[in-house]
Structure 1
Amino acid sequence: MNKVTVLNENDLRKILTMEETIAAVEEAYKQKELNKAFVLPMIFHEFEAGVADMDIKAGVMPELERYGLKVVSWFKDNPAKNLPALFGTTLLFDSKTGAPCSLLDAEYITGMRTGAAGAIGAKYLAKKMAKTLLIIGSGQQAFFQIAAYLTVFDSISDIFIFDPLDANKANAFVTNLATPLESLLAKNPTKKVSLKNTNVSAVTDLAQTLEKSDLVATVTPATTPIIKAKWVKKGTHFSCIGADISGKEEIDPQIFKDAIIIVDDLQQAITVGETERPIKEGVIKKADISGEIGALITGKVAGRTTDDAITIFDSTGIALQDLAVSNLALKIATKENIGQTVFL
């Protein structure tokens, strides 16, 4: 029999810090660029269009002696059955033996690693000393984006929350943000972060807010653009998070026309990411994409060239993020004796 560590959401909340998650995701991007980690083809299947689907993301990380996969299932009618609409599960394996190492709840890890990704894109593409952050969307991912941006940027003084469907949700998000956010940020091992110097507010006028936003993170399931090109000021950085299947779109394709574009995975970006529509509509060509985030981190490609440049990071989400953060969680859990052990 083989020992497998099972980690549920409560375990992961105890284990993971945003600071360490960011470091793990950044290292995963680097490993991919250096051909020391590999993303396998993504699988997406609809059981019933618009009602139930699943996707599988898998990868190999030889440096960590790990490979694995994440399965995410979405069943629209589950809430009526008192079940979550979304289930996510990650499996880690030992790449030397093929033995399963860990079974992890993927929802919390996905939230953490996705937040980390948005902030990493901004870290390498945004203007220095960016002060204002606009989050489009007020779901749970907005929470993780804020935690990650505040961990990366010391300069943020104002955070704006805009919900494209319901302003009341943005207000409720802001009202309930402080306590859980402070709790998460206080766990950072070296960079303790607090909201005391940051003003967080809900906004309703998107065009006006964009005029004063240095950083923009889009975290919605939109299929038509929320942000129009004519609203965007010079120097804005976008981390586009929501587009992860074909047809999703959050920002006007025309914004891509003169922007510096970085993606997490080239093939995913042009088929299921925010970059899909601009390429299909002929606004840009594949060659107009500067490169992947790993190449930017390692200095193989240039990022922002001037303070006036508009920059875009298209983060579709790759398995290596999940594997790196899952492996981090497993290491800490093993050390601190957290989780359950089963034998298969």
Structure 2
Amino acid sequence: MFELKVLCKEETEKILKINTVIRSVEEVYRQKALGETEVFPLIFHEFTPGVADMDIKSGWLKGSGLFGLKLVSWYGENAKKQLPALIGTILLFDDKTGAPIGILDGAYITGIRTGAAGALGAKYLARPDSERLLIVGAGHVAAFQVAATLTLFPNIKEVMIYDAMDYKSAEEFVQNIQSVLVNNLHVPFNESIEFVAVKDIKGATGKSDIIITVTPAREPIIMAEWVKPGTHFSCIGADMSGKEEIDPEILRGARIFVDDMEQCIHVGEIEIPIKKNIIKKEDIAGEIGEIIAGVTKGRENDEQITVFDATGTALLDLITAKLAFDEAEKMNLGTSVNL
């Protein structure tokens, strides 16, 4: 009865470019600040705690005429079955009729839109002259964070990679990053940038201008006393209750922005500092889209510590999925099916 388009992972990888995804994510943050979107309640379930779980994020892009959802599952034992641990599926629907529009693989879209989010937090809150970037976590999403941040910060001279669980992962990341950026993410490689795997997180923190955390940590990895004035944090990994990547004391006195206020209070980096009364909801300066829309100001001075708490919303997935469908139409990609 309904004809819809299906895009597989290989097609989304071919279609999506980091610079256009950044622009799309930036626009959807702006729309959210102006009340042109809705984020629906998050659904999360653990089938086996610490081993297998799933979450459903959904929302409505009023101006784009669509709503939809992304279902992501994480099965830690999948590597033994030669399957990816993270599997995602995105569904889009027409908001005028409720009819399905399309279905896409969500893994690549999750990675690239998350990279765009972390970099946009830096764009609007970090010092423009930032030269040293520290990525905490060397997993799948880390490469997207590097690609997006380098796209927005041409003055970066050094990229440090730290992995709390396995230093070898950081080393392998550094060895492979040129190939990943050029061949997988289609980002030009600047030979003048130094990529370094680091063991000393305290020392690396102390000389970083921008720090992006992408880990599943439940205890702080970075302590407040290590942080120099003027540092910016984009905290990406804390996306469910109990997760925590940085010392709550870092947030005391920092200028803090979030991607979605209510979601971040319950599952983001600000969750635990609020529960411990280190900060209050009123201490949050606003949502990142409010800076983009010109409603409020981001960084106030060069000495200020700034934090962007990004838990990720379906809005980012939906706008990126729409971009993928638009580009697929131009390139005659995808498979049409009747449902």
Q: TM-score range by the shorter chain?
A: over 0.9
Bigger shift: residues 2-11 or 259-268: 2-11
Matched, 1:217 2:215: no
Aligned residue in 1 for 2:163: 163
Runs of 4+ residues deviating >3 angstroms: 183-187
Q: Is the 8 A contact 2:4 2:338 kept in 1?
A: yes
Aligned residue in 1 for 2:89: 89
Aligned residue in 2 for 1:310: 305
Bigger shift: residues 240-249 or 71-80: 71-80
- Please state whether the residue corresponding to 2:63 is helix, strand or coil: helix
Query: So what's the TM-score if we normalise by structure 2?
Result: 0.98
Query: Separation in 1 of the partners of 2:280 and 2:215?
Result: 25
Query: Separation in 2 of the partners of 1:278 and 1:37?
Result: 28
Bigger shift: residues 330-339 or 16-25: 330-339
* One-letter amino acid of the structure 2 residue matched with residue 266 of structure 1: M
Query: Separation in 1 of the partners of 2:186 and 2:137?
Result: 24
Query: So what's the TM-score if we normalise by structure 1?
Result: 0.96
Query: Separation in 1 of the partners of 2:243 and 2:214?
Result: 11
Corresponding pairs, count = 339
Q: Is the 8 A contact 2:135 2:161 kept in 1?
A: yes
Matches within 5 A, 1:58-207: 58-184=58-184, 186=186, 193-207=188-202
Q: Which one of the candidate residues 304, 319, 323 is aligned to 2:318?
A: 323
Pairwise CA distance, 1:185:
5.6
Pairwise CA distance, 1:314:
0.2
* One-letter amino acid of the structure 2 residue matched with residue 221 of structure 1: P
Q: Which one of the candidate residues 275, 278, 281 is aligned to 1:280?
A: 275
Q: Which one of the candidate residues 223, 232, 243 is aligned to 2:227?
A: 232
Q: Is there any run of 5+ residues in structure 1 with no aligned partner, and where? A: 188-192
Bigger shift: residues 37-46 or 74-83: 74-83
Aligned residue in 1 for 2:251: 256
Query: Separation in 2 of the partners of 1:308 and 1:260?
Result: 11
Pairwise CA distance, 1:299:
1.8
Pairwise CA distance, 1:235:
0.3
Q: Is the 8 A contact 1:17 1:184 kept in 2?
A: no
Distance 1:62 1:10, change over 3 A: same
Query: Separation in 2 of the partners of 1:164 and 1:79?
Result: 21
Query: Separation in 2 of the partners of 1:213 and 1:252?
Result: 16
Bigger shift: residues 194-203 or 4-13: 194-203
Bigger shift: residues 56-65 or 108-117: 56-65
String of CA shifts for 1:225-253, please: whole Å, max 9, x gaps.
00000100000000000000001110000
Matched, 1:270 2:241: no
- Please state whether the residue corresponding to 1:168 is helix, strand or coil: helix
- Please state whether the residue corresponding to 1:342 is helix, strand or coil: strand
Pairwise CA distance, 1:94:
1.2
Aligned residue in 2 for 1:190: none
Query: Separation in 2 of the partners of 1:337 and 1:18?
Result: 20
String of CA shifts for 1:151-192, please: whole Å, max 9, x gaps.
1111111100011111111001100110120235646xxxxx
Percent sequence identity over aligned pairs: 53
Q: Is the 8 A contact 2:178 2:189 kept in 1?
A: no
Pairwise CA distance, 1:79:
2.7
Pairwise CA distance, 1:208:
1.0
Bigger shift: residues 74-83 or 246-255: 74-83
Query: Separation in 1 of the partners of 2:193 and 2:6?
Result: 37
Query: Separation in 1 of the partners of 2:191 and 2:82?
Result: 38
Query: Separation in 1 of the partners of 2:90 and 2:225?
Result: 41
Matched, 1:334 2:324: no
Pairwise CA distance, 1:17:
0.2
